[in-house]
Amino acid sequence: MPPATVRVWDPLVRILHWSLVALFAFAFVTADEWDSAHETAGYVIASLVAVRIIWGLFGSRHARFSDFVRGPSTVARFLTDSVSLKAKRHLGHNPAGGAMVLALLFSIGVIAITGFMMTTDAFWGVEWVEDAHELVVYGTLGLIALHVGGVIFASFEHSENLVKSMLTGRKRALDPSDAS
C-alpha cells in the first residue's frame, strides 16, 4: 500500500511558483532581444511577487511565512544536519527552503524595481541602474541553481520527489521521526 499523503501546497502557491519559473526564463531569454515582451514579463513577475507576499501573510498554513521563516541559527543548524544526512523532514518548507523563498522573492523584487526604474525618465540610460539590474539577475540565477540543488538533495535525503509535490500539492504524511 502506498504511503498516505497530505495536501501541503495549495493551488495558488503552485501556480505562482511555476509561473515565476516560466516568466523568469522568458524574461531572461528576451532581454535585449524583445523589449516589449521582456518588460511585460517583468510587470507580471512583479505582480506575482506581490501576490506571493500577500499570500505569505494571509494564505494557507504552509504558504504563510510564519510557517517556514526561521532565524539564521536555525537555518545553519538545519544545513549542518543536512550535510550529515540527519536533517529532520518538514512537511512544508524546511528552514533552508524558507530562507531561499525570502532570498528569491527579495532578489526578484529588486530585479523588478530596477527594471521599472530603467523605463522612467529619471533613470533612463543611468548606467548603475542597468548594472544593478543585470548583476541581480545573474545573482538570482545563482540562487536558482542553489534552490534546484537543494530540492534534489532534500529529495534524495528524505526519499521523496519534491518536484512532484510542487506539481500535485501533496507530500508523504509525516511519521513520528519527522519534524513539522
Instruction: Compute mean pLDDT per 10 residues along the chain, 180 residues long, and list them.
Output: 86 97 97 93 97 97 96 96 93 95 97 96 93 97 97 93 94 71
Q: Cα–Cα distance between 17 and 33 in angstroms, integer?
A: 25
Q: Which domain holds residue 167?
A: 5-171
Asked whether residue 178 is domain-assigned, the answer is no
For position 160, which CATH number holds? 1.20.950
Tell me how far apart the terminal alpha carbons of the chain are, to the nearest angstrom.
24
**Residues 23 and 51 sit within 8 Å (Cβ to Cβ):** no
- Output the pTM of the full model: 0.90
Q: Number of folded domains in the chain? A: 1
Asked whether residue 176 is domain-assigned, the answer is no
Residue 7 cell numbers, joined: 495536501
Asked whether residue 177 is domain-assigned, the answer is no
Asked whether residue 78 is domain-assigned, the answer is yes
